[in-house]
């Protein structure tokens, strides 16, 4: 089984930056695509960014393109989300997720594609 733990959330002003980290346990980390989702109060969980198991392809929601960057360090079993130019609309609980399958060609962009989830970390952006 895969266990994920997020960290790095906090309170920042609009225009500021945060870097989220997701530490993963399990020997198959390097074989799975990873993603970040977020969920604001009263809203559905939505895809934010994803990275292929091999690391050469990344995908972003339109709302964060040009501002967020997802990356991974397989040697450390960690995936990151660098968040710049933050907006109040980015306020949400951010979740790390691991693909339910190994070596998939396409990075899933829905919750159904992910079988493992972290507990979430709160990101609050003040105006």
State the 10-residue block means of pLDDT for the chain, 127 residues long. Answer: 94 98 87 96 96 92 98 93 98 96 89 95 97
Q: Which long-range contacts (CB under 8 A, 24 or more apart) does 52-55 make?
A: 52/104, 52/107, 53/99, 53/102, 53/103, 53/104
User: Smallest Cα–Cα separation from 117: which of 53, 41, 38, 30?
Assistant: 38
Per DSSP, what are the bridge partners of residue 92?
A: 123
Q: pLDDT at position 88, please?
A: 98
Per DSSP, what are the bridge partners of residue 59?
A: 50
Q: pLDDT at position 27, please?
A: 73
Q: pLDDT at position 90, please?
A: 98
């Amino acid at each position: 089984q895969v266990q994920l733990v997020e960290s790095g959330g906090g309170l920042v002003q609009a225009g500021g930056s945060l870097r989220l980290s997701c530490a993963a346990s399990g020997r198959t980390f390097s074989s799975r695509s990873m993603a970040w989702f977020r969920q604001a109060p009263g809203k559905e969980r939505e895809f934010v960014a994803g990275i292929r198991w091999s690391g050469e392809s990344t995908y972003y929601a339109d709302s964060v393109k040009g501002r967020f960057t997802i990356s991974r360090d397989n040697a450390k079993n960690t995936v990151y989300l660098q968040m710049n130019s933050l907006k109040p609309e980015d306020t949400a609980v951010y979740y790390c997720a691991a693909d339910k399958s190994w070596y998939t060609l396409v990075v899933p962009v829905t919750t159904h594609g992910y079988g493992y989830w972290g507990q979430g970390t709160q990101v609050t952006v003040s105006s």
